[in-house]
């Protein structure tokens, strides 16, 4: 579990093809202080497992299923990535609960500078639109952000200078792909309502008749 508060921007050092996926070396500094083998780490919002720690970075593996549904498959050497180590029970929840399970890939359709802030327009797939609400939380490439507006298939995100400068958002351009994870609470509510409706449909006349009523 993560918070969506990026700790460091890492740099892709090396990418190796392995059976069923890719092995990725990421150079970084800050998060190495307490990173250990088998720890979970979010790379552009994707939860991966650290397989090896070195003096200048760490290695992690991305399996085929992860590569297919995230932007990790497009990573190139020297590319910058958002990094966040997993949440500890003693940590403050400054962003929102982020699982590191990407729901979809969005496309940046516009970036506008508004004074010191930025407005980013992202086109999202129809299947996740039901999970997004105005002023709700969303993770974009692992960054905890708030949805400022929704128009059809587009969401609008307002970004303050601190977030802009401390994440890879400043590296983004029009038509770039981003990993999207919707708020986990919305998914739990949907599942709860689905099963509630499912159970209600069981109470038919035939069901009561079989019970002797």
- Report the alpha-carbon distance of residue 95 to residue 20 in Å, rounded: 33
- Asked if 144 contacts 100 with a C-beta cutoff of 8 angstroms, the reply is no
76 and 140 both lie in a single domain: no
Which range of residues forms the domain containing residue 69?
8-85
Query: Looking at the DSSP assignment, which residues form a beta bridge with residue 24?
Result: 15, 60
- Report the alpha-carbon distance of residue 212 to residue 140 in Å, rounded: 55
Does any domain span residue 1?
Answer: no
Q: Domain boundary residue among 19, 52, 85?
A: 85
Core vs surface per residue 60-91: b (16+ CB within 10 A) or e: bbbeeebbebbbbeebeeeeebbbbbbbeeee
Residue 213: its pLDDT value, please?
55
pLDDT greater than 90 at residue 72: yes
Say which CATH number the domain at 29 has: 2.40.30.20
Q: Domain boundary residue among 57, 85, 113?
A: 85
58 and 112 both lie in a single domain: no
190 and 108 both lie in a single domain: yes
182 and 123 both lie in a single domain: yes
Residue 93 banded pLDDT, cuts 50, 70, 90: confident
What percent of the chain lies above the pLDDT cut of 70? 91
120 and 163 both lie in a single domain: yes
Residue 196: its pLDDT value, please?
64
Q: Domain boundary residue among 85, 115, 149?
A: 85
Which residue from 56, 90, 72, 85 is spatially nearest to 24, judged by alpha carbons? 72
132 and 68 both lie in a single domain: no
The CA angle 95-28-82, to the nearest 5 degrees, is 35
Q: Determine the 3-state secondary structure of 133 from DSSP.
A: coil
pLDDT greater than 70 at residue 40: yes
Does any domain span residue 160?
Answer: yes
Does any domain span residue 207?
Answer: no
Does any domain span residue 54?
Answer: yes
Q: What are phi and psi of 187, to 5 degrees?
A: -70, -35
Most confident of 10-24, 87-101, 194-208: 10-24
Does any domain span residue 184?
Answer: yes
183 and 114 both lie in a single domain: yes
- Report the alpha-carbon distance of residue 49 to residue 89 in Å, rounded: 19
**97 versus 144: which is more confidently predicted?**
144
45 and 74 both lie in a single domain: yes
Does any domain span residue 74?
Answer: yes
């Amino acid at each position: 579990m993560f918070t969506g508060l990026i700790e460091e921007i890492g740099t892709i050092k090396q990418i190796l093809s392995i059976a069923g996926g890719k092995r990725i070396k990421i150079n970084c500094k800050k998060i190495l202080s307490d990173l250990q083998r088998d720890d979970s780490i979010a790379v552009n919002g994707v939860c991966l497992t650290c397989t090896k720690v070195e003096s200048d970075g760490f290695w992690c593996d991305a399996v085929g299923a992860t590569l297919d549904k995230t932007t990790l498959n497009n990573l190139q050497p020297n590319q910058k990535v958002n990094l966040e180590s997993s949440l500890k029970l003693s940590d403050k929840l400054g962003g929102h609960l982020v699982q590191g399970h990407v729901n979809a890939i969005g496309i940046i359709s516009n970036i506008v500078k508004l004074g010191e802030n930025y407005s980013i327009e992202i086109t999202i797939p129809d299947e996740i639109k039901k999970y997004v609400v105005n002023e709700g939380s969303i993770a974009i490439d692992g960054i905890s952000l708030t949805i400022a507006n929704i128009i059809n298939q587009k969401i609008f995100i307002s970004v303050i200078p601190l977030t802009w400068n401390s994440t890879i958002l400043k590296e983004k351009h029009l038509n770039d792909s981003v990993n999207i994870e919707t708020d986990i609470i919305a998914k739990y509510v949907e599942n709860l309502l689905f099963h509630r409706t499912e159970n209600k449909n069981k109470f038919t006349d035939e069901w009561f008749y079989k019970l002797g009523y």
